């Protein structure tokens, strides 16, 4: 796993680059956000391929558990992916509602995530 640091308007943004799953469990999410918080990052960009696929099946409850960690510790998270591949209406609604706020966002590219700051 590598971290690319982006700095926009004095905010340090960590983009996680990895070929493997980075988040499999809520504890993985907590460890990631804790490590990045203590390194001084203000926001995290994570690619969809680095999250266990069950995250995107809302019936598992995994998305809620993982995203609660980021909300609870006030660490903004952007998940970057092509979300058109998911056919679940409830997931599309979840993404739509999340994107109304500033804390948890689902966007199509890193550039979108950086401009959204």
CATH code: domain of residue 32: 3.30.750
What is the distance in angstroms between the CA of the first residue and the CA of the last residue of the chain? 23
Q: How confident is the model at residue 93 (pLDDT cuts 50, 70, 90)?
A: very high
Q: How confident is the model at residue 102 (pLDDT cuts 50, 70, 90)?
A: confident
Domain that includes residue 50, residue range: 2-115
Polymer length of the chain: 117
- Which one is predicted more confidently, 80 or 86? 80
3-state helix, strand, coil in the chain (%, to 5): 45, 25, 30
Whether 105 has a pLDDT exceeding 80, the answer reads yes
pLDDT for res 117: 61
pLDDT in tens, 19-73: 999 999 999 999 999 999 999 999 999 999 999 999 999 999 999 999 999 999 9
| Mean pLDDT of the 1-14 span | 94
pTM confidence score: 0.93
Q: Which residues pair with 45 in a beta bridge?
A: 15, 78
Q: How many domains does the chain have?
A: 1
Whether 86 has a pLDDT exceeding 90, the answer reads no
């Amino acid at each position: 796993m590598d971290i690319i640091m982006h700095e926009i308007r004095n905010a340090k943004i960590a983009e996680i680059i990895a070929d493997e799953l980075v988040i499999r469990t809520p504890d993985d999410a907590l460890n990631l956000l804790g490590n990045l918080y203590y390194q001084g990052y203000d926001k995290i960009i994570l690619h969809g391929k680095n999250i266990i696929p069950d995250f995107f099946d809302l019936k598992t409850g995994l998305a809620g558990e993982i995203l609660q960690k980021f909300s609870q510790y006030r660490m903004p998270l952007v998940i970057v992916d092509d979300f058109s591949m998911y056919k679940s209406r409830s997931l599309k609604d979840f993404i739509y509602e999340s994107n109304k706020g500033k804390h948890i966002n689902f966007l199509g590219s890193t550039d979108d995530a950086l401009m959204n700051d």
